[in-house]
Structure 1
């Protein structure tokens, strides 16, 4: 499938992102105010210049009132959206479509989550009735099933697959150590990662993303208006959200070595953007590394590595900060943290910095300097075999 898309009809002209972490001294409103003010400041706008708002959050508010109250917005539409961990990306997608349709001239997409005050160590559990086929195991346990499945299918022995997972965690902590907004800003040795306490299956503590508080925001306008607000807009090339049929837990054909929803959303977004060879054309990617094996599988699902060879590309350093195609140069969910509703927009914030040449020098990627002008974000919500997947392609120049 391929939708027609809104290629180069919408541009990002302002972004803001808080530090992610354990903000015991700050509330949801504080985080919202910081991220939205930063976005408006970067675009030279005020609240009066924004026509409509979309807010992505899973558990930090039940309506748009959470944002309108914090920002003192009066008489404008504020829509709250939720799509599991892809809630921030969902707010961005809706804001972009509103501008592209001509319904509004300017829109703001915001994501926020305040998880550390819940008293629950992990993502806030849902209490939605099911048909009884949904697994009751934890998220680490569900995603850990990827590891033996991938190793068996592609003939990777236990020591090798452990080395691959360790290297993914090591890479993302290395990148996060160079990011002042990241929750975990310290390099971790491969030895420490490999010997960490087990959580589920072959996953240790360093294979799991951080639980954190945070917020991020983006302002989008029509592409023809973008240069009124900034001399370096980022143009939206493709947006795709795919919801699967959620049959993974009962489908004997599902083997845990791929996210079919990610494959389909990537193909759709690439078609919209005119990307033929993502490995050769993409400068960087921010992907949903909720657990290290997720990032491994996504390298193949997103077309960055051939099937069965993603593990070799990881070990070769292809996705390192100075590699051919840097993945998660900001540290990813693993080191930057994962406040559910904010993560999708945090990914976009890193694309904003890197494509504009504004990322700190110590983690500025070389691929942009070599002439690549496109970036990808991938945001997942759910679990293997039962998820939604969002993929965006953005670029520093219009086609």
Structure 2
């Protein structure tokens, strides 16, 4: 890997998203148009059909593949590529867009992610497991094993996870396009019905409909769009063996997060993430996954997350705010 290949070569000049939630009155194209045109406006694109040279899109449940985006945005005479990569879909679509610009192939591209799981008629993702090691066949059931092991090993408890839920619910009330706008208390979390112990209702992120978009361009062109552009320093994806079949999996960390962080920090030149990172948006399908991310990303030592949670380190007013928009828990999932 060349850690310097993309560092500061690509700039984000526009962002947009639709309102996340149970969007029964919208189809995927409605959400794509809303997100993309907000990004166009944010970037100051006067003629997006001329200025955008390629589109990279991502969806876990697309019904028409790339045509869903091409038809919605009338982008027919240029490449439109689709990424389907489960929970990493949005990141991976953005990654391909960054690579396409950084290598010099295109000057300006659109990245758009969208999904409408509420129209699928099921309450959650379809999961197929083989029963290896006796793990349950639901995401909540599976991650609850990690939570129980973490509690036993490091002395954490449901109250620590509850504080994460309370934080994200508060943050979600401040985001105009979030799915949930409801303050809750630790007591609310602890008294809610159990989904899969130790997870109660408020420890789990519900699925929602939504779409988001980004306009990215070469660094030297960014000032044509705006002065406060954001440079991309790193972008990484990693995999690990299926935990159900990995004899070295200890249920105390998420290996792909550790591997991807290592790549990203090398690309960005970060030696001390706890001190060098000011804000983080992490995958919080369950409160436990956010807790593990604190440690796997190097924001605190393994087993120490509960102390940082109690001290408010990851709250909006803390030293390293995490999921400032409410995360998957309240902004929207996906």
TM-score by length of structure 2 reads 0.95
1:30 aligns to what? 30
In structure 1, stretches of 5+ residues that fail to align are 340-399
Distance 2:136 2:316 in 1: 37
Match of 2:114, SS?
Answer: strand
1:221 to 214, 217, 224: 217
8 Å contact kept, 2:54–2:106: yes
Distance 1:239 1:278 in 2: 15
Mark the CA change 1:252 to 1:2 in structure 2 (over 3 Å): closer, same or farther: farther
Mark the CA change 1:91 to 1:321 in structure 2 (over 3 Å): closer, same or farther: same
Q: How far 1:118 moved relative to its partner? A: 1.3
2:39 aligns to what? 39
Match of 2:163, SS?
Answer: helix
| 1:90 equivalenced with 2:92 (yes/no) | yes
More strand by share: 1
2:174 aligns to what? 178
Distance 1:58 1:292 in 2: 22
Distance 2:17 2:278 in 1: 22
2:328 aligns to what? 333
Distance 1:309 1:132 in 2: 32
Q: How far 1:75 moved relative to its partner? A: 1.1
8 Å contact kept, 1:93–1:239: yes
Q: How far 1:210 moved relative to its partner? A: 2.1
1:14 aligns to what? 14
Q: How does 1:282-293 map to 2 (within 5 A)?
A: 282-293=277-288
1:69 aligns to what? 71
8 Å contact kept, 1:2–1:268: no
8 Å contact kept, 2:127–2:138: no
1:207 aligns to what? 203
Distance 2:194 2:71 in 1: 43
8 Å contact kept, 1:318–1:326: yes
Q: Alpha carbon RMSD of aligned pairs, Å?
A: 1.6
Distance 1:47 1:260 in 2: 41
Q: How does 1:74-153 map to 2 (within 5 A)?
A: 74-123=76-125, 125=126, 133=132, 137-153=137-153
8 Å contact kept, 2:14–2:39: yes
Distance 2:136 2:306 in 1: 29
Q: How far 1:253 moved relative to its partner? A: 2.4
Distance 2:62 2:198 in 1: 32
1:249 aligns to what? 244
Q: How far 1:51 moved relative to its partner? A: 0.2
Q: How far 1:133 moved relative to its partner? A: 4.5
Match of 1:243, SS?
Answer: coil
Q: How far 1:254 moved relative to its partner? A: 1.1
Structure 1, residues 32-67: CA drift from partner, whole Å, max 9, x if none? 000000111111212221000011001123421110
Q: How far 1:312 moved relative to its partner? A: 1.1
8 Å contact kept, 1:57–1:81: yes
Match of 1:221, SS?
Answer: strand
8 Å contact kept, 1:208–1:292: yes
Distance 2:145 2:87 in 1: 20
